[in-house]
């Protein structure tokens, strides 16, 4: 007896059949909204390279975070833009710093929203690097890894004091997770989780973020401490080290050009994995949509669905509010012709 050939198209015939066999579901629960907070009041400064995104004063931040909460988005991550920067990035660990103020206000106003705070010095240093810069005997510059650890730990504790539920070290300093976990525990913040930027690549896709955060390096670049883009085995080592040091969640950044890294990490590690759909990826889609080259909503859902399919448990994306609106209007939304 012969059997007819399989016909996969039978399971694609109608929307409801496709729903029944769909392997990956993107939901609002997967989304984290990044927000930029600056000092002042009634400030809502557009970011030219990131249409629809703004530098927000504290009052405007409350409004934007309120929209996220009302949309069902479970978490936001905050990046600070201080009025004054210095060589040591002291605004990062100032108890009265811009993010610390924002966290206290958010925790009081929207206590159920998960507050994630970025832990890095680049937004606060006048040179734009992620740690303390020193001159070597030959006159060249370098970032002092171990001296930076103390400041990152101090920053994390201050952010936890202000109400952060999760701290997210992104400086790519060796040993930063262990230093922060130790400092948090010693300060009594045992319940504060660490989302480690474990596989953070030296990417060209960060350009718009550096405009948004006013943090481009004044000299050199960050390739000596961020990861080399061609490497994936190195990413697995970085992730493993961070987990061993106490990371509760790990991140791959950027997302689109590194979906293989997300997939490898998902297969190798049994911890929640975040992927950062970064500013350059957002800006490319916005530009293509503005020119009529792509359907923005459908392309957005396809991109975010692809990141989820690769293995991400959560996605940091500037599209979060737009994605939530699309998913709320049609929970089964997905790319379609």
Check 85, 107, 136, 253 and give the catalytic one.
Answer: 253
Secondary structure element (H or E) that encloses residue 261, with its range: helix 259-268
Contact indicator for 277, 307 with CB cutoff of 8 Å: yes
| Cβ(22)–Cβ(42) below 8 Å | no
Q: Is 200 a catalytic residue?
A: yes
Q: Are strands 114-119 and 31-38 parallel, antiparallel or unpaired?
A: unpaired
Is there a contact between 192 and 184 (Cβ–Cβ < 8 Å)? yes
What φ, ψ does residue 252 adopt, rounded to 5°?
-110, 130
The rounded distance, in Å, linking the Cα atoms of 162 and 156 is 10
Question: For the CA atoms of 160, 162, 167, 168, what is the dihedral angle to 10 degrees?
Answer: -150
Q: Is 253 a catalytic residue?
A: yes
> How far is the first Cα of the chain from the last one, in angstroms, to the nearest whole number?
40
Would you mind telling me the total number of residues written for the chain in this entry? 337
Q: Which residues partner with 32 through β-bridges?
A: 75, 316
Angle between helices 259-268 and 296-310 (to 10 degrees): 30
Exactly one of 85, 88, 200, 308 is catalytic; which is it? 200
Backbone phi, psi, residue 20, to 5°: -60, -35
Catalytic residues: 200, 253
């Amino acid at each position: 007896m012969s059997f007819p050939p399989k016909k996969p198209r039978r399971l694609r015939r109608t929307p409801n059949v496709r729903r029944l066999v769909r392997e990956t579901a993107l939901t609002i629960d997967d989304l984290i909204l990044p927000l930029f907070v600056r000092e002042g009041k009634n400030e809502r400064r557009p970011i030219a390279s990131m249409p629809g995104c703004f530098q927000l004063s504290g009052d405007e931040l409350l409004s934007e975070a309120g929209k996220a909460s009302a949309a069902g988005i479970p978490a936001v991550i905050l990046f600070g833009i201080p009025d004054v920067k210095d060589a040591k990035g002291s605004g990062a660990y100032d108890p009265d710093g811009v993010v610390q103020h924002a966290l206290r206000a958010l925790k009081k106003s929207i206590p159920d929203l998960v507050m994630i705070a970025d832990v890095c010095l680049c937004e606060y240093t006048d040179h734009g690097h992620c740690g303390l810069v020193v001159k070597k005997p030959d006159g060249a510059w370098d970032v002092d890894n171990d001296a930076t650890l103390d400041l990152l730990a101090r920053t994390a504790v201050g952010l936890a004091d202000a109400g952060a539920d999760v701290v997210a070290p992104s400086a790519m300093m060796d040993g930063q997770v262990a230093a922060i976990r130790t400092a948090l525990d010693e300060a009594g913040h045992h319940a504060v989780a660490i989302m480690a930027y474990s596989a953070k690549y030296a990417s060209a896709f960060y350009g718009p973020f550096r405009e948004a955060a006013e943090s481009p390096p004044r000299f050199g670049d960050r390739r000596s401490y961020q990861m080399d883009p061609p490497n994936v085995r190195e990413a697995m080592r970085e992730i493993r080290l961070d987990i061993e040091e106490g990371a509760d969640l790990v991140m791959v950044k950027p997302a689109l050009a590194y979906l293989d890294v997300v997939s490898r990490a998902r297969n190798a590690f049994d911890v929640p994995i975040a992927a950062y759909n970064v500013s350059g990826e957002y800006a490319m889609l916005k530009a293509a949509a503005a020119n009529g080259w792509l359907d923005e909503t459908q392309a957005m859902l396809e991109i975010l669905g692809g990141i989820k399919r690769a293995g991400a448990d959560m996605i940091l994306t500037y599209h979060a509010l737009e994605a939530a609106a699309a998913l709320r209007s049609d929970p089964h939304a997905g790319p379609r012709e």
